[in-house]
Amino acid sequence: MLTTSSPYDQAHGLRQIRPSGPVRVITITGGKGGVGKTNISINLGVTMASQGKNVLLLDADLGLANVDVLLGLHPKKNLSHVIRGECDLEDIIVTAQGGLKIVPGASGIQAMADLTAAQRGGLVNAFSELNTNLDVMLIDTAAGISESVLSFARAAQEVVIVVCDEPASMTDAYAMIKTLSCEYGVHRFRIVANMVAGVREGQELYKKLSVVTNRFLDVALDFMGAVPYDEYLRKAIQKQKPLVEAYPRSKASMAFKNLAQKADKWPVSTEARGHVEFFWERLIGDQCAQGVPL
């Protein structure tokens, strides 16, 4: 069941029984709704799973979750049951197409969108108690820069910002980067340009954003890649299947493969950063195994 105990208390009994190494944790966000965060999360996750990775996708749009709907899943329980203490996190995980594991969120429950700081911290800590062997965890956040979105972003090792060719998308992406960097000390961001005409247009969006951040913020942006507009995406959504499985040779599917290959080359963190983050105990356990003093 969900607890709000400190990372140190939870780590005490887990260091000896946790065989898994650090998990690569990637938050996919963007600020503005409608930029395609969920479809990118799903298709990136399925692609990584097809490449032999053990991947878990957390639907962190806590009040309006829809990953299960897009994949045609019908989970009996979701995060709201974990928050209420009715079951453990392990009990709600379902497996989607391609072996991608899903932690379903809740939809239409206002209380889930208004979690307290203790509940959000307890939810993050709960993932360290999973016995599931994982290589990668993806977090699909809600739109906006609510406390829940910011909590999940700063609890990850990597933050992917999704942008598209709309003024509001660029403005909201900048606001997200500014808030995370100035208030929470997150200084590295990966940028994905979605629904663009091609890589060149995606690079132009990245340059526009980086010009502003370089001028006003102390952050490092990295162009992760571009996902082109693809008419097959709507057809895949209607089939309730990931695009990369329904239409594996489509333009966007090939782009997702490139994104997965880039993410696989990112270094995996082997140290905790001093605040609440996913799989904190595994990082601490890895340090202990290497003889690093706490």
What is the H or E stretch that residue 176 is in? helix 167-184
- Taking the model in full, what pTM does it have? 0.88
Give CA–CA dist 242/253, Å, rounded: 9
Give CA–CA dist 254/145, Å, rounded: 30
Angle formed by the axes of helices 117-126 and 147-154, to 10°?
30
What are the residues whose beta carbons fall under 8 Å from the beta carbon of 29, sequence distance 6 or more? 37, 141, 149, 152, 153, 159, 160, 161, 162, 176
CA torsion sign for 239, 245, 250, 254 is positive
pLDDT means per 10 residues in the chain (294 residues)?
46 40 91 93 97 95 88 92 92 93 84 83 88 93 92 94 97 97 95 97 98 97 98 97 97 98 87 72 51 45
What is the H or E stretch that residue 136 is in? strand 136-141
Give the strand pairing for 55-60 and 158-163.
unpaired
The domains of the chain are located at 7-266
For residue 194, the model assigns a pLDDT of 98
With contact defined as beta carbons under 8 Å apart, do 95 and 132 qualify?
Answer: no
Classified by CATH at the fold level, domain 7-266 comes out as Rossmann fold (3.40.50)
For residue 11, the model assigns a pLDDT of 36
